[in-house]
């Protein structure tokens, strides 16, 4: 069973992944002014979600072993790959699959 602290860490990683997608969505748009480029709903939402993710991470580390944090956070790379495919239609290459397989293999080996 997953503890509430590990659950908070998983949620933190998911929120950070969504924030990365929002920031990338903002970066792909063209803006008429520099101020508008940095002050728009995508950037504000992305950084707001990153702040929320940070708070959840601090909470999660207060009740779980520190060795498990980086293992859970590595799943963020997998989540960003999946979100990129569905949100931006990014192609998933053999290299990306191999990298994701290495991440998942590392998690499995860590928990043996």
Q: What is the pTM of this model?
A: 0.90
Distance in Å from the first CA to the final CA of the chain: 17
Report the percent of the chain where pLDDT is more than 70.
99
Give dist(CA 70, CA 53) in Å, integer: 14
For 71-110, the pLDDT digits (tens) are: 999 999 999 999 999 999 999 999 999 999 999 999 999 9
For 32-47, the pLDDT digits (tens) are: 998 998 899 999 999 9
| C-beta separation of 12 from 60 below 8 A | yes
């Amino acid at each position: 069973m997953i503890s509430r602290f590990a659950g908070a860490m998983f949620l933190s990683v998911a929120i950070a992944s969504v924030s990365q997608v929002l920031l990338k969505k903002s970066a792909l748009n063209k803006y008429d002014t520099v101020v508008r480029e940095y002050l728009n709903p995508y950037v504000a939402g992305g950084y707001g979600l990153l702040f929320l993710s940070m708070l959840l991470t601090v909470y999660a580390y207060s009740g779980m072993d520190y060795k498990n944090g980086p293992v859970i956070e590595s799943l963020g790379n997998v989540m960003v790959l999946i979100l990129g495919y569905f949100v931006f239609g990014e192609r998933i290459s053999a290299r990306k699959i191999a990298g994701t397989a290495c991440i998942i293999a590392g998690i499995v080996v860590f928990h043996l």
